[in-house]
Amino acid sequence: MKNPKTNPEIEAIKSSLCKELGYLPGDKIPNSNVSIVLGKIDATATLIYAKSQNRKARFARPGECQYTIELEKGRAPKVSKPEDALISTAEAAKILEVHASNLNAIRVAGKIEAEKIGGRYFFKPEEVERYRIQRAIDKL
């Protein structure tokens, strides 16, 4: 990746900050305290310049740069809603070949378990299958 062109105004702000703090711009040793301070001076100078231009600016939080954000988007697993693995009342009624109101009565009677999510009831596929098999056995 190419280094961006230096802005002379930002460089002037950096040099004045370095003079105030007593750091020389050529003191960059990787992973040293001086290097860390110079990085903070660079960020502060950029922030001062942005504020002088009336631009919105702030310090980035740790791990917050465009490159890492794009990496995290690619790696992040798709979040599924809890009801994705569950069966709605209408679908369960079709599977069990009963009316939805009858299924609700069965649920109230405690013959089949359901989870209430956002005011709606959802059934686990295993629970629907268990009840379907139980009904078939009861018919015999």
Domain that holds residue 129: 82-139
131 and 105 housed in the same domain? yes
Into how many domains does the chain fold? Answer: 2
124 and 90 housed in the same domain? yes
70 and 87 housed in the same domain? no
Res. 24 pLDDT band, cuts 50 70 90: low
Tokens of residue 2, six digits: 């190419």
Task: Choose one of 75, 107, 127: the last residue of a domain.
Answer: 75
Q: Tell me: the pLDDT tens digits for 60-104? A: 676 666 666 676 676 655 555 655 688 999 999 999 999 999 999
pLDDT value, residue 1: 45
Q: Tell me: the pLDDT tens digits for 96-111? A: 999 999 999 999 999 9
Residue 93 lies in a domain: yes
Residue 1 lies in a domain: no
22 and 42 housed in the same domain? yes
**Bridge partner residues of 120 (DSSP):** 117
Backbone angles phi, psi at 120, to 5 degrees: -115, 155
Specify whether the CB–CB gap between 57 and 45 falls below 8 A: no
Res. 12 pLDDT band, cuts 50 70 90: confident
* More confident of the two residues 9 and 22: 9
Tokens of residue 98, six digits: 């009963």
CATH label of the domain that carries residue 99: 1.10.1660.10
